[in-house]
Structure 1
Amino acid sequence: MSGRVADAVVLSDEEQVFLEAQVRRHKAARSLSDRCRMILLCAQGLQSKEVANRLGVHEHTVGKWRRRFVKDRIEGLTDEHRPGRPRTVSDDQVADVIERTLHTTPRDATHWSIRTMAAESGLSHTTIRRIWTAFGLQPHRSETFKLSTDPLFVDKVQDIVGLYMSPPNRAIVLCVDEKSQIQALDREQPVLPMAPGVAERRTHTYIRYGTTSLFAALDIATGAVIGKCYKRHRTTEFLDFLKKVDAAVPKGPDVHLVMDNYATHKAPSIKAWLARRPHWHVHFTPTSASWINQVERWFAELTRKQLQRGVHRSTTELEADIAAFIKAHNENPKPYKWVKSADEILAAVKRFCQRTEQTLCAEL
């Protein structure tokens, strides 16, 4: 008895070129390139068994793709759509999880966790994770905010951002502020150094050896910093720091100071000292808007690199390390690039206020 006659494979020029191109492509799917090799060999007149022996596959696999190609040509070499496993979670269940997450809390906690929501809803914790991920819900996270209530908020933002993005010609713009109550801390037990596979370890308890306050002025054009530590941060110390800044900056150009509304900055003696220097101009930041003062960004860098993990057994050691950090920074200073215009900042604040108002109205 004769066996089943295999379907003859005859290729057009376009099909020949496409199949050979898929075989040569490095990024083609392995399954597709293997099927193309089968069809090319079948087109040479080889039987399915011979093709299977050459490629190391089963004879029935070659026969399957031979028949698919003869019937549907190139389209027959692609995988058919597979519906997959039927859904076990309905839209109503998903909506119920989202509703509970947004508008309720568990009896024994302030926010839902994946497993408490799973126990409450009767779904698996992996299903809850997928739902929260799909809708961007993160109940474990919480952020803080504070809106400025300064009646001159818009004017001050436009003024200071204008200084950053378009400073006056031949003028010096300095961002001034103080970082008060910097603590000289040591751990109660020795710090265990880092080792391969082991992070640095330290006790959570500490011994405090006093505090110091740092006054700093950041030149936005160069990134250089003028800084000095004081035991206290009163008007007397601030006036002494302004005199240090006056001695450090070149004589002649106008000096623009960006400062916050701390009472020390507005003391009568400070006003009198500035009044005797008409080329000095003060720009006060809006209340509750320290983010607009660029020196705060430098303070964050100082904290991260020097203070956060530093060990100091006296304020003298602490002040020496701060002075060394300033000196090293000024050897290769880099200015911070301000990219947000005043209009963009105000528009973002407006959108946030509108969203907050809508949320409060919805809850009421």
Structure 2
Amino acid sequence: MELSVEQAAELRELVNSRDVPADIATRGRIVLWSGKGRRRKDIAELLGVSLPTVDRWKARYAERGLAGLEGERPGGAREQMPARVRSRVIALTRMTPPAGTGLSHWSTRELAKYLARTENIVVSWHYIARIWREESLKPHRSGTFKISKDPAFAEKAADVIGLYLAPPGGAVVLSIDEKTQIQALDRTQPVLPVAFAATGKRTADYVRHGTTNLFAALNVTTGEVLGECRPTRNGKDFLTFLKKAVKPHAGKDIHVVLDNLSTHTTWEVKEWLSKNPHVHFHFTPVGSSWLNQIEIWFGILTRQSIRRGTFSSVHVLVKQIRDYINSWNTTAKPFTWTATAGEVLAKARLVATNMKKIVNNNSN
């Protein structure tokens, strides 16, 4: 059976979670290994199950997704949640997580924890995952539309989109951001049934070897990317990369699209900007990093080069990223931005209105 990138990531999260019962993790591993092309006979032998068991859980997953791996619960039919709980899950999923959470988007587990902590609503992450599938909600997908609480959303969005649709003549537009804590994972460690029996714990099928931080700048006009991996990410690192990014465009006005990280507004950065008036910063609205085109490229890099890779060291990971950037630049093409500022603002107003209706209905 074939699995999408999102399905494989979801299954890996399930089988490596300490909060998931061992039987469900085993079912998830059956599906995950099948998706990787392992023979059913080998899967059955490694996990200590029968061939019909392998077939059953593959079929259940194909039919119902993760919910199909839960099996039949003893004691009758599954408990039905009130409609208001379902509505609340949907409403929160479509919103940007509150600033205090430190999250850029919801995961099923984080949303379940948030509901229990703040609203005394106790649901499992399986329940939330099922709702997401039924409603086609994918908050983890790059580009998912989120509502910004920035009071200057309209002005900032129009400013950034204006650069994409009608860049100043002769000027260079760079989209810059950092992808932090990219993990070097060795995904070759086997998981054997004996590990369960001896320790009572599931052994992860990967080993972490460290992390790196990727600074990247996308030339909006050409689609070319300049990238640099660093072990740290602070204001000094950002300024060093910024100087490197603008150096090839000396003598031109340079417009830089950024998000609202503190590392982008340190006093060193502000002092450098005052001495380089040809460089202009344009900040995306708070909670709206999806407006920054480099985020699109980060998503492509993750899907095509990092997510399924095996990296025995940070050095190997960094080389993989460098090779990918070099390959990308040989056939680089700019992203085509089609949405006008008016269209984005209209959608924002529509989503905000719908969310307000849902919240009001839940409170009645």
- Alignment TM class, shorter chain as reference: 0.5 to 0.7
- Higher helix residue share: 2
Q: 1:179 is paired with a residue of what secondary structure?
A: strand
Question: What residue identity is the alignment partner of 1:150?
Answer: D
**Secondary structure of the residue that 1:320 maps to in structure 2?**
helix
Q: Structure 1 348/230 Cα, relative in aligned 2: closer, same or farther at 3 Å? A: same
Letter in 2 for 1:361: N
TM score, norm. by length of structure 2: 0.58
Distance in 2 (alpha carbons) for counterparts of 1:163 and 1:110: 44
Poorly superposed stretches of 4+, deviation over 3 Å: 100-105, 108-113, 137-146
CA drift at 1:255: 0.3
Residue type of the partner of 1:317?
V
Change (3 A) 1:273 1:360: same
Aligned to 2:152: 152
Contact 2:183-2:210 within 8 A present in 1 as well: yes
Query: Structure 2: how far apart are the matches of 1:140 and 1:279?
Result: 47
Amino acid at match of 2:182: I
Hey, what does 1:182 align to over in structure 2? Answer: 182
Matched, 1:320 2:316: no
List aligned pairs for 1:40-119, cutoff 5 A. 102=83
Instruction: Name the residue aligned to 2:284.
Output: 285
Question: CA offset at residue 250 of structure 1?
Answer: 2.5
Q: Secondary structure at the match of 2:177?
A: strand
* Residue equivalent to 2:353: 354
* CA shift for structure 1 position 103: 5.2
Is the radius of gyration larger for structure 1 or structure 2?
1
Residues of 2 paired with 1:354 and 1:229: CA distance?
A: 42
Q: How does 1:1-364 map to 2 (within 5 A)?
A: 102=83, 139=134, 142-144=137-139, 146-189=146-189, 205-247=205-247, 249-364=248-363
The runs of 5 or more residues in structure 2 that have no matched partner are 1-80, 87-121, 140-144, 192-202
Q: Which range is displaced more, 143-152 or 325-334?
A: 143-152
SS at match of 1:214: strand
Q: How many residues align?
A: 231
Gaps of 5+ in 1: 1-99, 114-136, 192-202
Once residues 324 and 331 of structure 1 are traced to their aligned partners in structure 2, the CA distance between those partners, rounded to angstroms, is 11
Alpha-carbon separation, structure 2, partners of 1:112 and 1:263: 36
Higher relative contact order at CA 8 Å, sep ≥6: structure 1 or structure 2? 2
Within 2, Cα distance between the matches of 1:327 and 1:363? 51
Displacement of 1:189? 2.4
CA gap of 1:330–1:139, structure 2 versus 1, over 3 A, is closer
**Matched residue SS, 2:249:** coil
Within 2, Cα distance between the matches of 1:251 and 1:228? 20
Which one-letter code corresponds to 1:225 in the other structure? V
- The percent identity for this pair of structures is 41
Report the counterpart of residue 56 of structure 2 in structure 1. none
| Cα displacement (A) at 1:236 | 1.6
Structure 1 residues 234 and 111: CA distance shift in structure 2, 3 A: closer
In structure 2, C-alpha distance between the alignment counterparts of 1:277 and 1:151, rounded to whole Å: 29
Cα distance, 1:164 vs. partner? 0.4
- Shift of the 161–312 alpha-carbon distance from structure 1 to 2, 3 Å rule, reads same
Following superposition, the deviation at residue 157 of structure 1 comes to 0.4
Q: Which segment drifts farther, 146-155 or 206-215?
A: 146-155
Match of 1:200 in 2: none
Equivalents in 1 of 2:180, 2:147: separation in Å? 23
Task: For 1:112 and 1:302, locate their aligned partners in 2 and report how far apart those are by CA, in whole Å.
Answer: 29
